[in-house]
Structure 1
Amino acid sequence: MSVTAATAYFLRLAEFPHRELFDGLAHVWEAVRDLEAFTQCLVEEPGLPEGTESDLRGLRVEDGLIASEGLFLAKRRFRVARAGVRIEVGVRIEPGVVVKGPSVLCAGAELRHGAYLRGSCLIGPDAIVGHATEVKNSLFLNHADAGHFAYVGDSLLGAGANLGAGAKLANLQLRTEEEKRGKGKPRSIRIRVEGQSLDTGLRKFGAVVGDDAEVGCNAVTSPGTLLGPGCWVTPNANVPKGIYPPAHLIRSEASRVEVTPRPR
């Protein structure tokens, strides 16, 4: 199996209702490229009913987004065409949440107070986007959790993956002044794979977090990080880009803590 294949990271992909996102992809990160078009197709699925006034109670609908004004619980599957959002049975949305389209909220997904979904988000069954967490162009598989103050940009979270409070999946590498000003072609993110530098073709690419991986509180992954299933990242770690094999512990020793008697 290739170390860049989706099945190397998502061992329980068969349980995900929209697994066809990965059909025909040579590299797992290609799903990041395809996510916007894929979520748009799910929103526009033929036969999907439009939400009624009763369905939308607790939500404010505007062009391209929904915003929650009260506690919302979906009792059936429907779409909000004006917002570009698809909502499935059992979705729970707390007050103060904003969801931009195209986005899909799968059955049982939970969006907690202050969550901000910036579009092209596919939130899987029973996944959690927590308080003050921002998600952009990203996938959460079944039971993936980002419970508190996280940033998830252009990333893929596996089944049962968990981000601790304040974890950041950075998606944009450092840029030159010319790149910031739009002069010349922006660099895409490259990853070393089996001794060779492989171009992802993506200017923005956060992380692939494999099934059941744990990212500790306030840890930061660099753009182009791939964590194998069951990896643990210690709190406050800075994780360089690259491929990390399954079931490994990743820590950084940038800081050292000493405990001594204080001056009197």
Structure 2
Amino acid sequence: MRPDEPTDSAHPTLAVVVLAGGLGTRMRSRTAKELQPLAGRPLLSYVLEVAEAIEPAQRIVVLNPAKRAVLEILPPGWQVAWQEQPLGTGHALVQALPLLAPGIHRVLLLFGDHPLLTPADLRRLLSEVEERCPAVAVLTTVLEDPAAYGRIRRQDGRVVGVVEAREDTTSYRGPVEVVSGATCYDRRWLEEALPRLERSPSGEYYHTWLVELAARTPWSAEPAITVPASPETALGVNDRLDLARAEAIVRSRVAERLMRAGVAIVDPSTTFIDATVEIEPDARIEPFTIISGQSWIGEGSRIGPHAVVRDSRIGPECEVLASVLEEAILGSRVHVGPYAHLRPGTRVADDVHIGNYAELKNARVGRETRIGHFSYIGDAELGERVNIGAGTVTCNFDGVEKHRTVIEDDAFVGSDTMLIAPVRVGPGGRTGAGSVVNRDVPPGGLVVGVPARPIAARRARRRPEVRGE
């Protein structure tokens, strides 16, 4: 089967066309509007996802050549129509027509800057189309302030057209029905109607004028209909203010989804969780916490308050208190914080404690190891049951290259120890407080001083006998 032919799908005669050709100048950004981050994902990805959820036979996105970066986020199966000049939505729709496969009967138009559409919205629109067979069906909503949205015009209850905001001089009192981000067309009618679009005073061709053309078309059924949706659906993102409003709504949806799945979010209004994050049931997210990227939180873990977690994996029954984790992996029952910083490459095994003001970078930490406080562990490998005293630093950088420190099982590193990498502390090795270790410590050995020198291990002090015991 050729890629331009419809495939097996829930809607085998439907093509989705997503318009993403506008230059988005109101965003005032070097990044294309469709690539602006929205709760951890590019804005356009939400529209593409909702389009794929209804399983159309064909998927087309219309782009301007200046926005080739958008190609990097297109899922497999999407075709691209190029709009060389940004002459409006009607003109963009014309560019997609040559790509339509022969078996396509209906065209569903979506906008790349309307990320709040849901599959339920589109399924409801398509259901009405199947039942009523119009030439044009517009998803609409009702707003107290129509703002920059096209306004539906009716006569005797019937839809007769859409007035673009910049062409409208009407003063409204009360709610206004506006265009809401999705329109479905009969393909044959659309191909005949598009050449009849006239250029607006602003120099653009509006797709919304197709509604008026449809209303004047002899049609066996009602030629133009509307299907209602929630006010959220109408929100298009044109500038930074719109982006912030959309972000708040998406994050609210994410929090609701997680809480319904069994995650405790103590205060959703002060908690920011990306749409890409996965959290297992019975995890607890405390206030003022940010969890972003490809993070995963295990069952029963407690994150926050005041934690920042990015692209990290946190195992079951962990606690991360007022700390920052970046591209780190924690095992089970790990305690971190407060005020710790786990930087990229940190891998922590089960039952580890990382306390106040500890910083780890590119470090591996074995089971039951304790890093109490005020320590820097960088480019290091710690074994099991290691004790890191307060103020310990792995001096990993010699001014030219990074070097690695290895501290093996059951070692005890005294407070304020400086470990000059590359260096190894053998199993059971010990360092005295304030030592500067620039040579390997043998298994079971004890080193002290600046620079550290080996000394014989002291015998355990015997408790003096007490008469009468």
Q: Same fold (TM over 0.5)?
A: yes
CA positional deviation for 1:244: 2.4
- SS of the residue corresponding to residue 226 of structure 1 reads strand
| Matched ranges for 1:112-261 at <5 A | 112-173=337-398, 175=399, 186=400, 203-240=401-438, 242-253=439-450
CA positional deviation for 1:113: 0.2
Mark the CA change 1:65 to 1:87 in structure 2 (over 3 Å): closer, same or farther: closer
Aligned-pair identity in percent equals 24
CA positional deviation for 1:205: 2.3
Question: Which of 299, 310, 327 is equivalent to 1:83?
Answer: 310
| Residues 176-218 of structure 1: per-residue CA shift (max 9 Å, x gap) | xxxxxxxxxx5xxxxxxxxxxxxxxxx3224101101011111
Unaligned 5+ segments in structure 2 are 1-276, 302-308, 453-469
Paired amino acid for 1:248: G
> 1:206·1:222 contact (CA, 8 Å) conserved in 2?
no
Relative to the length of structure 1, the TM-score reads 0.58
User: What is the CA–CA distance in structure 1 between the aligned matches of 2:311 and 2:352, rounded to whole Å?
Assistant: 20
User: What is the CA–CA distance in structure 2 between the aligned matches of 1:83 and 1:141, rounded to whole Å?
Assistant: 22
- SS of the residue corresponding to residue 131 of structure 1 reads coil
| Residues 28-48 of structure 1: per-residue CA shift (max 9 Å, x gap) | xxxxxxxxxxxxxxxxxxxxx
User: What is the CA–CA distance in structure 2 between the aligned matches of 1:138 and 1:62, rounded to whole Å?
Assistant: 22
> 1:98·1:115 contact (CA, 8 Å) conserved in 2?
yes
> 2:437·2:451 contact (CA, 8 Å) conserved in 1?
no
> 1:73·1:92 contact (CA, 8 Å) conserved in 2?
no
> 1:65·1:100 contact (CA, 8 Å) conserved in 2?
no
User: What is the CA–CA distance in structure 1 between the aligned matches of 2:282 and 2:291, rounded to whole Å?
Assistant: 13
User: What is the CA–CA distance in structure 1 between the aligned matches of 2:320 and 2:298, rounded to whole Å?
Assistant: 7
Question: Which of 40, 54, 57 is equivalent to 2:285?
Answer: 57
User: What is the CA–CA distance in structure 2 between the aligned matches of 1:247 and 1:238, rounded to whole Å?
Assistant: 18
User: What is the CA–CA distance in structure 2 between the aligned matches of 1:51 and 1:253, rounded to whole Å?
Assistant: 48
Aligned-CA RMSD value: 2.9
User: What is the CA–CA distance in structure 1 between the aligned matches of 2:374 and 2:290, rounded to whole Å?
Assistant: 24
Structure with more relative contact order (C-alpha pairs < 8 Å, separation 6 or more): 1
Number of residues paired by the alignment?
Answer: 168
| Residues 121-146 of structure 1: per-residue CA shift (max 9 Å, x gap) | 11110111110000000011001111
Relative to the length of structure 2, the TM-score reads 0.33
CA positional deviation for 1:243: 2.9
Unaligned 5+ segments in structure 1 are 1-48, 67-71, 77-81, 176-185, 187-202, 256-264
User: What is the CA–CA distance in structure 2 between the aligned matches of 1:211 and 1:110, rounded to whole Å?
Assistant: 20
The aligned residue for residue 323 of structure 2 is 97
Mark the CA change 1:84 to 1:110 in structure 2 (over 3 Å): closer, same or farther: same
User: What is the CA–CA distance in structure 2 between the aligned matches of 1:100 and 1:234, rounded to whole Å?
Assistant: 32
- SS of the residue corresponding to residue 339 of structure 2 reads coil
> 1:213·1:230 contact (CA, 8 Å) conserved in 2?
yes
Mark the CA change 1:206 to 1:212 in structure 2 (over 3 Å): closer, same or farther: same
- SS of the residue corresponding to residue 247 of structure 1 reads coil
CA positional deviation for 1:253: 4.8
User: What is the CA–CA distance in structure 1 between the aligned matches of 2:298 and 2:357, rounded to whole Å?
Assistant: 20
| Residues 52-95 of structure 1: per-residue CA shift (max 9 Å, x gap) | 697461231234789xxxxx99517xxxxx9321111111111x
Paired amino acid for 1:83: R
| Residues 135-179 of structure 1: per-residue CA shift (max 9 Å, x gap) | 000011001111110000010111000110111111101x3xxxx
User: What is the CA–CA distance in structure 2 between the aligned matches of 1:169 and 1:163, rounded to whole Å?
Assistant: 11
Paired amino acid for 1:116: H
Specify which structure has the higher proportion of helix: 2
The aligned residue for residue 24 of structure 1 is none
CA positional deviation for 1:50: 2.4
